[in-house]
Amino acid sequence: MKFLLIFIFAFNFIFDFSSARTSESLKVEIEDGKIIGGWMTSLSGKIIRAFMGIPYAAPPIGDLRFKAPQKVKPWGNVSLLAQKEPPMCTQINTFNDMYSETVYGQEDCLYLNVYTPEITKKITKKLPVLVWIHSGAWLVGHAGYTDYSPEYLLEHDIILVTGNYRLGALGFLSTEDEYSPGNYGFKDQLEILRWVKKNIEKFGGDANSVTLAGESAGAAAVNYHMFSPKSRGLFHRAISQSGHLFNPWADPAHKGKAKENAIRLAEKLHCSKSGISTKSLIECLRKISAEEITRVLRDLPVWDNDPLIAFQPVIENFDSNEEPFISELKYEKLSLDIPWIVGITSEEGLMKSASFFNNAEKLKELEENWKKILPVTFYYDHLPENEVDEINQKIYNFYFKESSFSNNKENLTNMWSEGWFGGFFDNLSYRFKSNDRENTFVYLFTHKGAASFSEYFLGEKEEFYGTCHVDEIFHLFPIQKYFPDYMSAMPTQEDRKITEIITKLWANFVTFGNPTPNYSEESKFPIWKPATKFPLDFMKIGNENGASEILLEMKKDLYPERANFWIELRKKYGLHLWAFDLNGRDEL
C-alpha cells in the first residue's frame, strides 16, 4: 500500500507538472482538433505565439493529385504539436541553377502557420490578420519561418498567417478539361483563406478584417483572388508587391497552350502517345513520383530559364466536376472596392539582367540571338511572325537605338523591368476606369540596402546594381538572419530604419485600410495620398542612389514614358488576355 501511494503521488505530480508547463495561451482548439504552439520573439523581444505546421487540407497525393484540395481528416482529442516548420512543397530551383537535379520538399505539404502577439490585458479586441502568399514564380518557395519569420511584422499588434501551396506542374498542370482542370495552387490558397475565416478567431484574430498580401508571383496570386468570385468576402484589403495579373508571366495561358504543355511534360515521362486520352494521360502521371515530374521542369525552358513559368493559370471555362477558380475573363468583375497597396522596386529587371552583367558569354548570346530570345522571355512568341518582328524592333529601338545590349546596362535592366513587371501600369489604368474610390496606394521602393537579391539572381556578390526584384522583402522579413548567403551582409542603421518604416506602414494598412491614417502618432510620416488617375501619385520608400537622407516622400508621375510604351504595345498586339476579348483584340 505504501508503494502504491508513492506511485499515485508521483504519477499525479508528473501529470500536474506536465499540464502546468504548457502555457494555456499556447493551447488552442480549432475545428479539426486541439493544437499546442510554441513561442518566439520579435525584433525587440516581444513574445510571439507561433503555431506552425497546421494541416489545412488532406495530403494531395495518389488519387488527390491534380485535384482541388480536400478536407483534412480531424485529429480529435489528440493534441497536435504545432511547433515545427512544415515541409516545403515539391520543387526544383531553376532560378539560379538550371542544371541542378536536386528536388526539394514533398507532396504532402499543405500546412500553414499562425503567428500572434502574446495575449495580454493590453489587447482587448480581435486583431486584424495578414495572410501572406509566398513568391517564387509558382515554381519554388516555402511558407516556413526561415523564409517568412514574423519577427519584424509582429512588432505590431497584427496576426500573420503563412501557408504552402502546390507548385509547378503539381500545382498548375491543366489538360483544359475535367481530368485536370488546373489552378490547384490558387485553390490551395483559397482553402487557406477559408481556414482563416473558420478558425482565426480562436487565435484572437478578426475574421472580418483580413488583408491578403504577397510579393512577385504571390502578389499576382493576390490579384487573381481579387478577381475570383470564390474568394469574395474572405479578405477585405490587398497588398501586391512587384506582381500583377497584367504581367506576361502571370497571364492565363492562351487556349490550348496549357494542354500542349501538359502533353509535352507527359511525353518526357513516357505518359503520352498518339491518340491517348487526357484521362489516361493523367492516370499515368499519378503513378509517376512527384520528384520525377518536378525534375522534368528543368527541361522545358526554350532559352536560359525562359519561359520562366511553363504552367500558367488557366481560365476554367470548360465542363468539370470541380468548382472553377476563374471561369471568365471580364476585368470589370474584379473586386475593385477594397483598399489596395500596389507597387514595384526601382530596378525590378535586375532579376534577369544581373546575370548578364556577371556573365560575358551569356550577354554575347543575347546580343547575337535577341530576335529569338525577346519573344520567348516576354511571352509573345505565339503571335504571327510579322508581328513578332515588329515588336522585336519596337523594343530594341525604344531601349537601345544606336547602342547595344552590352553598352547600355541601365536600359537592359529597364527593358526587363517594364517587360516583366510593367503590367502594373495597365492594371492601374483599368482600376481607375472602373473605380473612383480613393483607396489605391501606389509605391516605388528605391532603397539600396546592405544585401540585394541581384546576388541570388546570379549577379556579382560584392556589387550592387540597384534595387532588385524582391529587395523590399529584406525589410518585412529577417531573411539575412536565416539565409547563409546573406549572413555576411549586416543590416545598416538605414536598413533598420527602413524596416521600421515599412512594417509600420503595412501594419497600419492591415489595421485601418490606410498606410498613414491621419492621427497624431503618424505625424512623422508624410500622408500617403491615394492614386486616382495618371499621372500617378506615389510614395517613394527608400534612399536615392544610396545618398539621400529622405526615406519616405510623396512623388508624382512614375516612369511615364516607359509605362506608356508598354501599355500601347500590349494594347496594339494583345499581349495579355485580361484587356482583350478571347476571340479578338477589341478592348473590353
What residues are labeled active site?
A: 216, 348
Non-local CB neighbours of 244 within 8 Å, separated by 6+ positions? 219, 220, 223, 250, 342, 421, 423, 424, 427
Query: Per-residue b/e over 18-43, b at no fewer than 16 CB within 10 Å?
Result: eeeeeeebbebebebbebebbebebb
CB-based contact 395:379 (threshold 8 Å): no
Dist CA 349 CA 354 (whole Å): 8
Dist CA 251 CA 570 (whole Å): 12
Non-local CB neighbours of 404 within 8 Å, separated by 6+ positions? 367
In terms of phi and psi (left: phi > 0; alpha: psi -120 to 50; beta: otherwise), the region of 406 is alpha
The dihedral over CA atoms of 521, 526, 531, 536, expressed in degrees to the nearest 10, equals: -160
The 3-state DSSP class for residue 458 equals coil
**Residue (of 336, 17, 351) closest to 216 by Cα position:** 351
Upper half-sphere CA count for residue 242 (Cβ side, 13 Å): 26
Sequence-ordered alpha helix ranges (H) in 404-478 = 409-421, 423-434
**Residue (of 555, 543, 497) closest to 524 by Cα position:** 497
Dist CA 441 CA 237 (whole Å): 11
Amino acid at 508: N
DSSP character at residue 320 = -
Non-local CB neighbours of 335 within 8 Å, separated by 6+ positions? 226, 227, 231, 232
Amino acid at 487: M
Dist CA 391 CA 369 (whole Å): 15
CB-based contact 454:467 (threshold 8 Å): no
Dist CA 566 CA 426 (whole Å): 9
Non-local CB neighbours of 186 within 8 Å, separated by 6+ positions? 165, 221, 224, 225, 228, 313, 325, 326
Upper half-sphere CA count for residue 9 (Cβ side, 13 Å): 6
